């Protein structure tokens, strides 16, 4: 049996680079197509960089541990819990928050569907729910009910608008497949 | 008493060599991969102050999943076809999402995508790494039991070189692992099970999502022509203080024909072998009862195959 | 319905009966409405889907600084020293306030019991000791963590039963009894009835401590300028917060403005001002800068919020023909160390009110535990009480061989058994009877109940269960509303009520649109701002729509009259022939004349005042017991090997009178039932008995239902039983759906495995323990 990768990790001599921090360091983020330059301590999470060190309050700070999905943003187009990563790691990679979903004043089909289906109550979990839905439909344009549940399982809604969220995701899926985005 | 949460510095090496050199410092920095465990502590202000080694910036650690050929077995793999797969290698930064998206791994190692689904939401799967799950040494880790059942080995690298440790030898107690502070997990190697092997993965929790398992069993069995058990692996999470391979029960089963008598013998053995934990998530009594039921289900359904 | 209600008040020791203001009767809606009853889209939908809705925790003001609490690390202790020197060195540190500075300051509950803002003798783990303030939230957190406190540990207990045994309790419920005496309610003669009965059933039920877990944490931002505070608060009631805060600050009422336009969920925990509210306002004045005080999730689990756990022993006597003869109940619930909030544990009301029964006695003990003080949580008391009462109803029905639905129908009260007032049941129908019948049909109850069970029982066992609810939900005064229609045809609606996610703003706009003809999307709703809107009770008790809605209709009718008067002159038609709809006044075509119409904007422009203003006040209620009813039918599948319970089917039927918006009505049903499933199956705040510390203060281990936990088949069904006690014909809905859920699930589990699970939540462990009792080999 061939051993994949064996011996390919070589341990050449290297120099240990300098540590950053604990004091503030510059950090450049690309949020909704806009360059955001801030000074933050290296421990600052992407969520707090967005909410506390710039003006993006769409991502919400709810559970502090990746258990609720309220801070979901798209990073390289993929959903991540922004409270679960350092802002420094997001540098140079496109970030989409709920504020960036609508384009040129036109709502994203997922936003339209959430509006139509009353897919929220208090609305505080909605930004995360919208971004998870956008990510889900990108990977799976026609999800089954079970796939919708799996795609959104990490987004808690205490008001429990879940049943109307099912409707909204299905409606958005239909609309988007009828007129696929460029 | 923890010091200020502000005492958090980050080294972001650009190469593996730099990362390994950093680990030779005293005290060594703490490796940070997907960060889904460490960030919980950071947000809660419970993280030990110190220097963290950010592996995200190291390209060598992001190599894609590799599937390599094994020895041809003409009986199973048709002549003229492709070489049968022999081993799968995950990198240090391979995420749960990477595995779920990899069609060949899904086919060859079906327990891995099942475990990936349990680890957390999509948002977590796209950050959390298999290597991190191993290194963090949580007794409730969802990713470790299937890897252990597949006889995975852990590739540990340091400035001094590379060594391979069987995952089943990696843990020695609660949060006790074989990794030295100057070592990094740089890869995980998983031999593809023999054709016809039967696997079993089941997690029991209160809630369906993020159940944080109360009991988890990953099992793998290889049967011979007359239903004799050639090889069996039984790995439990959330039952003992660390991911636990039930070797005593395995050895009772190996070489025996799979029949009702063997099942009850195995369950009886397991009942004395496990010394389950009691915590807020459940009781020892519940864990023992359900662990035995899961074993019974695994062997029972295998008998029916 | 004309208002005829009297309120009795005491003025300088003298009893005075106040009449509700006389108001012209506006009859409840007839069948034909254009906007009311439609699934209008929320008026704030756009803000909610674009992230533009600014919640108090999102607010950023220039110069704003951040406050955080330092909390007790002991369940009961005296503080022997506090060292702030390290905290003061944290860069950005601004101020710290200690208990001595605020020794006179406390929150007060509904019965006037006090809870100190800060304390030197913490009586529960996590109680607030100090507040610190810094330039950034990170610095405030760091400073809070740097405060060094030493304690002298004192004895404590988190177990309500233990505290009652030790005599450490007050009476629960709404009648304070003082220390060491339970609250007692009695009618008839229970002892005699029990002695004469031949069938008596008794069982003890336990419910777990639950935590609201609103997705937005408790949050306030306060600024202070020129003697006035402006407070943005995540709240269910801006006027309650204003009153309490002004009193605590010792400031005139009008020096405090509270704004609560958007808020991220409350479920009873944001009804009044919090400690964080006071701290933000106090520091804003002290520092002369806006102060934000927002709790993080772990704090949400140790703050004075949550549904207290209960232990209810219920005993009932029944005649063989199914007539309930007597109910006796002893209820214990945790009330925290101060008795503050003890009114929210009351489990006695439901046993006394729900069914016709001549002999009832309840005793309620509010145990003084070293746990966070309780507060109202969605259907306070009832959700706990239903778990015992509705399981007991099931148990009795089985005992006497009666269908549990039939048994409930047999014991429906025509009058409120406590107040003696008639239950609003027009035209011979009873809301609860209708709900039970409709739900039974949709669920196919009779058929599914009789489905034969497999023998021998398989690993996965199925069962069905039912439970019912009633909740006083008539709403009522005070509520006053102003509508202004402007010359561009846009209407403004000013209402004090908070929209806590239920869609209040939208429902009110629909009611206004129905009368005025201004389309819903041309109505701007300004709500929950003490400077701009009129006084209103908090959005709690399922009273918001039934309180404010009729006032909106009255204001809208006042506008309508003015619009019609002008339209009548312009269109040369009698007012009764003019339709106000779609932003226009229209005279339909007749045989002689074609249709003609004029925009509402034009009518306003031509009006003498150049603006149409309508004022509406909520009239009184009829002298009746006004209840919302509901029934839930549940099917479960129990895995006997792992103990997991899967709710496979659920039908929830609710009668709350007129449905203003069916989509939002269903949202309430889904939401309440789902929270009930959490209460029933997964949610429990667990305390460490050694330290009194909550062991699961996070959303991983305190398990609220996720999208995966929704039953595969889940029907929410509105049922409009006509009600004419207010001009909408609507009653409240927010709370009723959570009440019967846990009991319905437990009844279904009994049906499946033949064992009654008497403690919440119904975890896999409890199922396994029930199937394999601990004395047996595991």
Domain boundary among A51, A72, A100: A100
Give the residue from C221, C706, C712, C738 with the most A CB atoms within 10 Å of its CB, the best one to mutate. C706
C-alpha span between C699 and C298 (Å, rounded): 9
Residues C459, C493: one domain?
A: no
Tell whether the model's pLDDT for residue C510 goes beyond 90.
yes
Domain annotation covers residue C257: no
CB-based contact, C682 to chain B, within 8 Å: yes
- Chain B residues touching residue C761 (CB < 8 angstroms): 206
Tell whether the model's pLDDT for residue C107 goes beyond 50.
yes
For residue C13, what pLDDT is reported? 82
Domain annotation covers residue C50: yes
Residues A117, A157: one domain?
A: yes
Tell whether the model's pLDDT for residue B43 goes beyond 60.
yes
Reported as half-sphere exposure (CB side, CA atoms, 13 A), residue B32 has a value of: 29
Average pLDDT, chain C: 94
C-alpha span between B84 and C641 (Å, rounded): 38
Domain annotation covers residue C234: no
- The conformational region for residue C336 under phi > 0 = left, psi -120 to 50 = alpha, else beta, is left
Domain annotation covers residue C95: yes
For residue C429, what pLDDT is reported? 75
Q: Which of residues 172-201 of C touch B (CB under 8 A)?
A: none
Residues C400, C446: one domain?
A: yes
Question: Which residue among B6, B206, B271 sits closest to C764, beta carbon to beta carbon?
Answer: B206
Residues contacting C245, CB < 8 A, separation 6+: C229, C231, C256, C258, C273, C277, C278, C281
For residue C551, what pLDDT is reported? 97
Q: Do C764 and B289 touch (CB under 8 A)?
A: no
- Give the residue-averaged pLDDT of B187-191: 97
- The conformational region for residue C107 under phi > 0 = left, psi -120 to 50 = alpha, else beta, is beta
For residue C2, what pLDDT is reported? 39
Q: Do C642 and B204 touch (CB under 8 A)?
A: yes
C-alpha span between C666 and C684 (Å, rounded): 26
Q: Do A85 and B127 touch (CB under 8 A)?
A: yes
Q: Are C677 and C647 in contact (CB under 8 A)?
A: yes
For residue C453, what pLDDT is reported? 72
Confidence of residue C776 (pLDDT cuts 50, 70, 90): low
Residue B238's closest CA among B214, B205, B202? B214
For residue A113, what pLDDT is reported? 98
Q: How far is A16 from chain C (nearest CA, A)?
A: 29
Domain annotation covers residue C701: yes
CATH label of the domain that carries residue A88: 3.10.20.30
Average pLDDT, chain B: 90
Residues contacting C44, CB < 8 A, separation 6+: A123, C53, C262, C499, C505, C506, C525
Tell whether the model's pLDDT for residue A94 goes beyond 70.
yes
Residue ranges making up the domain that contains C458: 389-473+624-771
- Chain C residues touching residue B2 (CB < 8 angstroms): 145
Reported as half-sphere exposure (CB side, CA atoms, 13 A), residue C678 has a value of: 33
Residues contacting A118, CB < 8 A, separation 6+: A161, A164, C39, C41, C42, C503, C663, C664, C667
- Chain C residues touching residue A61 (CB < 8 angstroms): 57, 296
Domain annotation covers residue C205: no
Q: Do A124 and C216 touch (CB under 8 A)?
A: yes
Count of domains for chain A: 2
For residue B3, what pLDDT is reported? 39
Domain boundary among C108, C132, C153: C153
pLDDT tens readout for residues C37-93: 999 999 999 999 999 999 999 999 999 999 999 999 999 999 999 999 999 999 999
List the single residue in C with minimal CA-CA distance to A153.
C707
Listed by start position, the domains of chain B span: 8-59, 61-191, 198-304
- Give the residue-averaged pLDDT of C364-391: 96
Q: Measure the N-to-C terminal CA separation of chain A; round to a whole number of Å.
A: 46
Q: Do A4 and B88 touch (CB under 8 A)?
A: yes
Confidence of residue C427 (pLDDT cuts 50, 70, 90): low
For residue C40, what pLDDT is reported? 96
C-alpha span between A179 and C648 (Å, rounded): 36
Count of domains for chain C: 3
The H or E element spanning position B128 is none
C-alpha span between B38 and B30 (Å, rounded): 10
For residue B84, what pLDDT is reported? 62
Q: Is B74 helix (H, G, I), strand (E, B) or coil?
A: coil
Q: Do B122 and A20 touch (CB under 8 A)?
A: no
Residues C603, C715: one domain?
A: no
pLDDT tens readout for residues C272-293: 999 999 999 999 999 999 999 9
Domain boundary among C131, C153, C175: C153
Which is it for strands C77-83 and C148-153: parallel, antiparallel or unpaired?
antiparallel
For residue B74, what pLDDT is reported? 46
Residues C690, C552: one domain?
A: no
Kindly indicate whether the ipTM for this predicted assembly is greater than 0.85, answering yes or no: yes
Q: Which residue has the tokens 């203001």?
A: C21
Cα C692–Cα C697–Cα C699 angle in degrees, nearest 5: 155
C-alpha span between C429 and B103 (Å, rounded): 61
For residue C778, what pLDDT is reported? 46
For residue A181, what pLDDT is reported? 55
Residues A143, A118: one domain?
A: yes
pLDDT tens readout for residues C150-169: 999 999 999 999 999 999 99
- Chain B residues touching residue C93 (CB < 8 angstroms): none
Write down the CATH number for the domain with range B61-191. 3.30.465.10
CB-based contact, B239 to chain C, within 8 Å: no
Residues A83, A122: one domain?
A: no
Residues C421, C556: one domain?
A: no
Residue A102's closest CA among A140, A79, A134? A134
CATH label of the domain that carries residue A114: 1.10.150.120
Residues C630, C766: one domain?
A: yes
> How many Cβ pairs within 8 Å bridge chains A and B?
179
Higher pLDDT, B207 or B241: B241
Tell whether the model's pLDDT for residue C439 goes beyond 80.
yes
Q: Is B33 helix (H, G, I), strand (E, B) or coil?
A: coil
Convert B190-205 to b/e letters by CB count within 10 Å (16 or more is b).
bbbbeeebbbbbbbbb
For residue C514, what pLDDT is reported? 98
Write down the CATH number for the domain with range B198-304. 3.30.390.50
Residue B165, CA distances (Å) to B36, B86, C61, C638 in order = 24, 18, 55, 42
Q: Is C318 helix (H, G, I), strand (E, B) or coil?
A: strand
CB-based contact, C299 to chain B, within 8 Å: no
List the single residue in A with minimal CA-CA distance to B161.
A11
Residue C610, CA distances (Å) to C200, C569, C601, C603, C662 in order = 71, 16, 10, 9, 36
Neighbours of C610 (CB within 10 A): 10
Q: Are C739 and C383 in contact (CB under 8 A)?
A: yes
Q: Percentage of residues in chain B with pLDDT exceeding 70?
A: 91
C-alpha span between B125 and B117 (Å, rounded): 8
Which is it for strands C324-334 and B171-173: parallel, antiparallel or unpaired?
unpaired
- The conformational region for residue C467 under phi > 0 = left, psi -120 to 50 = alpha, else beta, is beta
Q: Do B18 and A136 touch (CB under 8 A)?
A: no
Domain boundary among A100, A120, A144: A100
Neighbours of C104 (CB within 10 A): 9
Q: How far is B169 from chain C (nearest CA, A)?
A: 29
Q: How is residue C521 written in tokens?
A: 């999307």
C-alpha span between C348 and C171 (Å, rounded): 11
Q: Do C698 and A101 touch (CB under 8 A)?
A: no
Give the residue from B138, B207, B296 with the most C CB atoms within 10 Å of its CB, the best one to mutate. B207
Tell whether the model's pLDDT for residue C112 goes beyond 50.
yes
C-alpha span between B68 and B71 (Å, rounded): 10
Residues A41, A73: one domain?
A: yes
Question: Which residue among B21, B24, B122 sits closest to A151, beta carbon to beta carbon?
Answer: B122
Tell whether the model's pLDDT for residue A12 goes beyond 70.
no
For residue A4, what pLDDT is reported? 38
Q: Is C312 helix (H, G, I), strand (E, B) or coil?
A: strand
Confidence of residue B176 (pLDDT cuts 50, 70, 90): very high
Q: Measure the N-to-C terminal CA separation of chain B; round to a whole number of Å.
A: 56
Residues A88, A131: one domain?
A: no
pLDDT tens readout for residues B79-120: 445 556 699 999 999 999 999 999 999 999 999 999 998 888
Residues A86, A122: one domain?
A: no
- Give the residue-averaged pLDDT of A74-100: 96
Residues C495, C602: one domain?
A: yes
Residue ranges making up the domain that contains A130: 109-178
For residue C5, what pLDDT is reported? 57
For residue A99, what pLDDT is reported? 97
Q: How is residue B257 written in tokens?
A: 């024909």
For residue C21, what pLDDT is reported? 64
Residues A91, A136: one domain?
A: no
**DSSP letters for C191-237:** HHHHHH-SEEEEEEEEE--B----SSPPEEEEEEETTEEEEEE--S-
pLDDT tens readout for residues C168-220: 999 988 877 888 999 999 999 999 999 998 889 999 999 999 999 999 999 99
C-alpha span between B222 and B213 (Å, rounded): 26
- Chain C residues touching residue B205 (CB < 8 angstroms): 764
Question: Which residue among B1, B212, B286 sits closest to C768, beta carbon to beta carbon?
Answer: B286
Tell whether the model's pLDDT for residue B38 goes beyond 70.
yes
- C125 cis-preceded (ω within 30 degrees of 0): no
Give the residue from A158, A165, A167 with the most C CB atoms within 10 Å of its CB, the best one to mutate. A158
CATH label of the domain that carries residue C757: 3.30.365.10
Q: Are B49 and B3 in contact (CB under 8 A)?
A: yes
Q: How is residue B90 written in tokens?
A: 């995950």
Q: Do C41 and A116 touch (CB under 8 A)?
A: yes
List the single residue in C with minimal CA-CA distance to B4.
C142
C-alpha span between C555 and C613 (Å, rounded): 8
Which is it for strands B50-54 and B30-32: parallel, antiparallel or unpaired?
parallel
For residue A169, what pLDDT is reported? 98
Question: Which residue among B35, B87, B89 sits closest to A1, beta carbon to beta carbon?
Answer: B87
CB-based contact, A95 to chain C, within 8 Å: no
Helices (H), C588-723: 600-606, 662-681
For residue C438, what pLDDT is reported? 97
CB-based contact, A49 to chain C, within 8 Å: no
Helices (H), C315-419: 348-353, 382-399, 404-410
Tell whether the model's pLDDT for residue C569 goes beyond 90.
yes
Tell whether the model's pLDDT for residue A41 goes beyond 60.
yes
C-alpha span between C325 and C327 (Å, rounded): 7
- Give the residue-averaged pLDDT of A158-169: 97
Higher pLDDT, B175 or C506: C506
For residue A54, what pLDDT is reported? 96
Confidence of residue A179 (pLDDT cuts 50, 70, 90): confident
- Chain A residues touching residue B87 (CB < 8 angstroms): 1-4
For residue C347, what pLDDT is reported? 73
C-alpha span between B139 and A6 (Å, rounded): 29
For residue B208, what pLDDT is reported? 77
pLDDT tens readout for residues C443-489: 999 999 988 777 778 999 999 999 999 999 999 999 999 999 999 99
Residues C691, C711: one domain?
A: yes
CB-based contact, C696 to chain B, within 8 Å: yes
Domain boundary among C153, C168, C187: C153
C-alpha span between C44 and C626 (Å, rounded): 31
C-alpha span between B60 and B111 (Å, rounded): 26
Give the residue from A64, A123, A125 with the most C CB atoms within 10 Å of its CB, the best one to mutate. A123
CB-based contact, A87 to chain C, within 8 Å: no
DSSP label of C569: H
Backbone angles phi, psi at B231, to 5 degrees: -155, 140
- Chain A residues touching residue B136 (CB < 8 angstroms): none
List the single residue in B with minimal CA-CA distance to A131.
B123
Q: Do B209 and C146 touch (CB under 8 A)?
A: no
Convert C552-583 to b/e letters by CB count within 10 Å (16 or more is b).
bbbbbbbbbebbbebbbebbebeeeebbbbbb
Q: Are A88 and B32 in contact (CB under 8 A)?
A: no
Residue C677's closest CA among C726, C616, C722, C636? C636
Domain annotation covers residue C194: no
Domain boundary among A56, A78, A100: A100
* Least confident among B108-122, C269-283, C337-351, C678-692: C337-351
CB-based contact, A38 to chain C, within 8 Å: no
For residue C178, what pLDDT is reported? 82
CB-based contact, A147 to chain C, within 8 Å: no
Q: Percentage of residues in chain C with pLDDT exceeding 90?
A: 88
CB-based contact, A54 to chain C, within 8 Å: no
Backbone angles phi, psi at C212, to 5 degrees: -55, -45
Q: How far is B43 from chain C (nearest CA, A)?
A: 10
pTM above 0.90, yes or no: yes
Residues contacting B136, CB < 8 A, separation 6+: B37
- Chain B residues touching residue A5 (CB < 8 angstroms): 63, 66, 89, 155, 187, 189
Domain annotation covers residue C759: yes
The H or E element spanning position C753 is helix C741-753
Q: How far is C260 from chain B (nearest CA, A)?
A: 28
For the four alpha carbons of C568, C574, C575 and C578, in that order, the dihedral sign comes to negative
For residue C271, what pLDDT is reported? 96
Q: How is residue A156 written in tokens?
A: 């808690």
Q: Are C505 and C527 in contact (CB under 8 A)?
A: yes
Residues contacting C32, CB < 8 A, separation 6+: none
Residues A130, A65: one domain?
A: no
Q: Count, in order, helices (H) and strands (E) of chain B.
A: 11, 14
- Give the residue-averaged pLDDT of B23-30: 92
């Amino acid at each position: 049996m061939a051993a994949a990768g064996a011996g390919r990790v070589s341990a050449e001599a290297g120099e240990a680079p300098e540590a950053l921090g604990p004091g503030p360091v510059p950090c450049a983020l690309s949020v909704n197509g806009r360059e955001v330059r801030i000074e933050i301590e290296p421990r600052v999470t992407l969520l707090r960089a967005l909410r506390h060190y710039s003006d993006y309050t769409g991502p919400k700070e709810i559970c502090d541990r990746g258990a609720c999905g309220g801070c979901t943003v798209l990073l390289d187009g993929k959903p991540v819990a922004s409270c679960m990563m350092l802002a420094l790691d997001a540098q140079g990679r496109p970030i989409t928050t709920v504020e960036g979903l609508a384009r040129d004043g036109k709502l994203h089909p997922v936003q339209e569907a959430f509006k139509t289906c009353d897919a929220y109550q208090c609305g505080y979990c909605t930004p995360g729910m919208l971004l998870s839905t956008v990510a889900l439909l990108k990977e799976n344009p026609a999800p089954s009910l079970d796939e919708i549940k799996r795609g959104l399982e990490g987004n808690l809604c205490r008001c429990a608008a879940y049943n109307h969220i099912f409707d909204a995701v299905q409606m958005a899926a239909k609309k988007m497949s009828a007129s696929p985005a460029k | 008493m923890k010091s200020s949460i502000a005492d958090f510095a980050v080294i972001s090496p650009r190469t593996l060599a730099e990362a390994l050199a950093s680990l030779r410092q005293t005290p060594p920095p703490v490796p940070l991969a997907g960060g889904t465990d460490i960030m919980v502590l950071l947000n809660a202000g419970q993280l030990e102050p110190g220097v963290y080694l950010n592996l995200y910036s190291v390209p060598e650690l992001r190599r894609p999943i590799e599937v390599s050929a094994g020895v041809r077995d003409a009986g199973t793999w048709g002549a003229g076809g492709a070489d049968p797969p022999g081993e799968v290698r995950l990198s240090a930064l391979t995420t749960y999402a990477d595995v779920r998206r990899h069609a060949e791994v899904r086919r060859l190692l079906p327990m891995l995508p099942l475990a990936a689904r349990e680890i957390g939401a999509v948002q977590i799967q796209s950050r959390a790494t298999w290597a991190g799950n191993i290194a963090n040494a949580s007794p409730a880790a969802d990713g470790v039991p299937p890897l252990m059942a597949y006889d995975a080995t852990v590739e540990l690298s340091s400035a001094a070189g590379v060594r391979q440790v069987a995952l089943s030898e990696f843990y020695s107690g609660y949060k006790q692992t074989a990794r030295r502070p100057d070592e990094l997990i740089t890869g995980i190697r998983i031999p593809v099970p023999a054709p016809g092997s039967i696997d079993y993965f089941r997690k029991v929790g209160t809630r369906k999502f993020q159940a944080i398992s109360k009991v988890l069993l990953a099992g793998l069995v290889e049967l011979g022509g007359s239903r004799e058990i050639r090889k069996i692996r039984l790995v439990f999470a959330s039952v003992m203080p660390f991911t636990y391979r039930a070797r005593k029960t395995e050895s009772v089963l190996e070489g025996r024909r799979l029949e009702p008598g063997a099942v009850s013998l195995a369950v009886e053995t397991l009942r004395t072998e496990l010394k389950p934990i009691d915590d807020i998530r459940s009781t020892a009594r519940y864990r023992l009862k359900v662990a035995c039921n899961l074993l019974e289900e695994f062997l029972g359904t295998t008998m029916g195959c | 319905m004309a208002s005829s209600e009297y309120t009795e008040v005491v003025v300088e020791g003298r009893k005075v009966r106040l009449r509700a203001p006389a108001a012209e009767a506006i009859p409840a809606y007839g069948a034909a409405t254009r906007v009311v009853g439609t699934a209008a889209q929320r008026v704030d939908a756009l803000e909610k889907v674009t992230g533009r809705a600014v919640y108090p925790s999102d607010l950023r003001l220039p110069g704003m600084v951040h406050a955080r609490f330092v909390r007790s690390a002991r369940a009961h202790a005296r503080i022997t020293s506090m060292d702030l020197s390290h905290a003061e060195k944290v860069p950005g540190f601004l101020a710290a306030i200690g208990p001595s500075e605020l020794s006179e300051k406390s929150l007060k509950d509904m019965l006037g019991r006090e809870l100190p803002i800060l304390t030197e003798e913490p009586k529960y783990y996590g109680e607030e000791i100090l507040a610190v303030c810094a330039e950034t939230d990170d610095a405030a957190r760091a400073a809070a963590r740097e405060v060094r406190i030493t304690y002298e540990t004192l004895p404590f207990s988190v177990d309500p039963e233990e505290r009652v045994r030790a005599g450490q309790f007050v009476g629960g419920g709404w009648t304070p009894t003082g220390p060491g005496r339970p609250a007692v309610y009695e009618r008839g003669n229970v002892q005699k009835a029990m002695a004469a009965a031949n069938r008596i059933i008794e069982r003890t039920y336990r419910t777990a401590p639950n935590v609201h877990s609103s997705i937005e944490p408790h949050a306030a931002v306060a600024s202070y300028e020129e003697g006035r505070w402006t407070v943005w608060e995540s709240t269910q009631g801006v006027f309650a917060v204003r009153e309490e805060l002004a009193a605590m600050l010792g400031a005139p009422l009008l020096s405090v403005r509270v704004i609560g336009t958007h808020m991220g969920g409350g479920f009873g925990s944001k009804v009044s001002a919090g400690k964080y509210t006071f701290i933000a306002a106090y520091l804003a004045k002290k520092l002369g800068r806006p102060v934000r005080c927002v709790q993080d999730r772990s704090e949400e689990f140790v703050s004075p919020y949550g549904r207290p756990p209960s232990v209810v022993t219920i005993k009932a006597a029944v005649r063989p023909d199914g007539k309930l003869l007597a109910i006796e109940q002893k209820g214990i619930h945790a009330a925290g160390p101060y008795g503050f909030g003890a009114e929210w544990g009351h489990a006695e009301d439901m046993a006394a009110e729900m069914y016709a029964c001549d002999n009832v006695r309840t005793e309620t003990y509010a145990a003084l535990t070293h746990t966070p003080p309780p507060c109202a949580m969605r259907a306070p008391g009832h959700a706990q009480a239903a778990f015992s009462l509705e399981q007991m109803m099931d148990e009795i029905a089985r005992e006497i061989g009666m269908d549990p639905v039939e048994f409930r129908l047999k014991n429906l009260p025509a009058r409120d058994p406590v107040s003696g007032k008639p239950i609003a049941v027009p035209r011979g129908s009873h809301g609860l009877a209708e709900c039970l019948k409709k739900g039974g049909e949709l669920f196919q109850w009779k058929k599914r109940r009789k489905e034969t069970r497999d023998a021998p029982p398989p690993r996965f066992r199925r069962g069905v269960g039912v439970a019912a609810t009633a909740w006083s939900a008539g709403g009522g005064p005070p509520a006053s509303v102003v509508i202004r229609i402007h010359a561009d045809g846009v209407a403004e609606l000013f209402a004090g009520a908070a929209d806590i996610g239920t869609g209040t703003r939208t429902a009110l706009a629909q009611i206004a649109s129905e009368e005025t003809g201004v389309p819903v999307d041309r109505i701007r709703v300004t709500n929950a701002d003490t400077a701009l809107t009129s006084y209103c009770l908090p959005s709690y008790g399922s009273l918001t729509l039934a309180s404010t809605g009729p006032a909106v209709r009255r204001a809208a009718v006042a506008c309508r009259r003015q619009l019609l008067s002008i339209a009548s002159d312009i269109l040369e038609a009698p007012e009764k022939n003019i339709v106000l709809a779609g932003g226009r006044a229209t005279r339909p075509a007749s045989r002689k004349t074609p249709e003609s119409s004029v925009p509402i904007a034009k009518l306003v422009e031509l009006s003498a005042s150049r603006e149409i203003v309508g004022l509406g006040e909520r009239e009184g209620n009829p002298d009746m017991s006004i209840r919302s009813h509901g029934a839930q039918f549940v099917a479960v599948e129990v895995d006997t090997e792992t103990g997991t319970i899967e709710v496979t089917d659920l039908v929830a039927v609710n009668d709350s009178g007129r449905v203003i918006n069916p989509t939002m009505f269903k949202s309430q049903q889904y939401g309440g039932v789902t929270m009930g499933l959490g209460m029933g199956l997964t949610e429990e705040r667990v305390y460490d008995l050694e330290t009194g510390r909550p062991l699961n203060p996070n959303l991983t281990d305190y398990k609220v239902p996720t999208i995966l936990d929704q039953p595969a088949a889940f029907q929410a069904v509105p049922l409009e039983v006509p009600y004419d006690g207010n001009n909408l014909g609507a009653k409240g809905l927010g709370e009723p759906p959570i009440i019967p859920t846990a009991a319905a699930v437990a009844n279904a589990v009994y049906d499946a495995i033949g064992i009654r699970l008497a403690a919440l939540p119904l975890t896999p462990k409890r199922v396994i323990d029930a199937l394999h009792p601990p004395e047996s080999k595991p």
